Amino acid sequence: MSNKAQVIINESWCKGCEICVDICPRDVLIMEDFVAKVDDIDQCTGCMMCELLCPDFAIVVHPPEKKKKSVTE
Ligand code: SF4
Ligand code: SF4
């Protein structure tokens, strides 16, 4: 069980387009040697934007597990 997000980057698939770095709303990702890298995973909300927008399917996001909350409608 993890309440922290995980972002896994397949470096051999990354072509260094920087899209993920640009769209991440929390500045989790950086470029290093023309490859995307996770810089600050603690800021990641697990929004999945980077995974969805990576043209090379090089990113897999495991969002944090949600705490069970009572639903109020
Ligand atoms: S969007 Fe994908 S291909 Fe582009 S830099 Fe990020 S991981 Fe690499
Ligand atoms: S899942 Fe969202 S917050 Fe986390 S690295 Fe990707 S774009 Fe940034």
* Continuous H helices in 1-73: 19-23, 49-53
CB neighbours (10 Å) of residue 5?
A: 21
- At 22, which amino acid appears? D
Within-domain flag for 71: no
**Does pTM top 0.85 for this prediction?**
yes
pLDDT at 69: 63
pLDDT tens for 36-49 read: 999 999 999 999 99
- Structural domain count of the chain: 1
Within-domain flag for 69: no
pLDDT at 70: 61
C-beta of 14 in contact with ligand 1 (< 6 A): yes
Cβ partners under 8 Å of residue 8, min gap 6: 59, 60, 61, 62
- The ligand with the least distance to the CA atom of 9 is 1
Q: Which residues of the chain have pLDDT under 70?
A: 1, 67-73
| Contact between residue 15 and residue 56 where contact means Cβ atoms under 8 Å apart | yes
For the chain, give the percent of residues with pLDDT over 90: 84
Look up the domain containing 31 and give its range.
6-62
